[in-house]
Amino acid sequence: MAYYMVQAAYTAEAIAAMVKNPEDRAAVLRPVVERLGGKLEGLWFCFGEYDVVGISQMPDNVSAAAFVFAASQSGRLKAVKTTPLMTGAEAIDAMKKAGGAGYRAPGGG
């Protein structure tokens, strides 16, 4: 399965609801990810551009997108960014494959 990082920013209404009624969001999200065939590796709250970052393993891009659609339909997220991740071994394989691709830089360099 592939790894994905999902970063999300909550609306002011969502933050107000969590402050009023704190809950473990990982416990809420874990079964959703599992129903889509994935595994939630972890969920971290942060501050700045995004309020929460999750790392999950998903079987494919469609399942990863389905999770984002499911979470977004509540209207409590104002921004979501999904980033596919590679393991170090996958990155090395990609570098080796790139080395044999025969790419030529613009201008012949």
Spell out the domain ranges in the chain.
2-99
Handedness of CA 48, 49, 50, 55 (dihedral sign): negative
Terminal CA-CA length for the chain: 38
Percent of the chain with pLDDT over 70: 99
Q: Which CATH architecture has domain 2-99?
A: 2-Layer Sandwich (3.30)
pLDDT value at residue 109: 59
Question: For the segment 33-57, what is each residue's pLDDT rounded down to a tens digit?
Answer: 999 999 999 999 999 999 999 999 9
Per DSSP, the residues of 30-60 read HHHHHHTT-EEEEEEE--SS-SEEEEEEESS
Phi then psi dihedrals of residue 48, to 5 deg: 125, -135
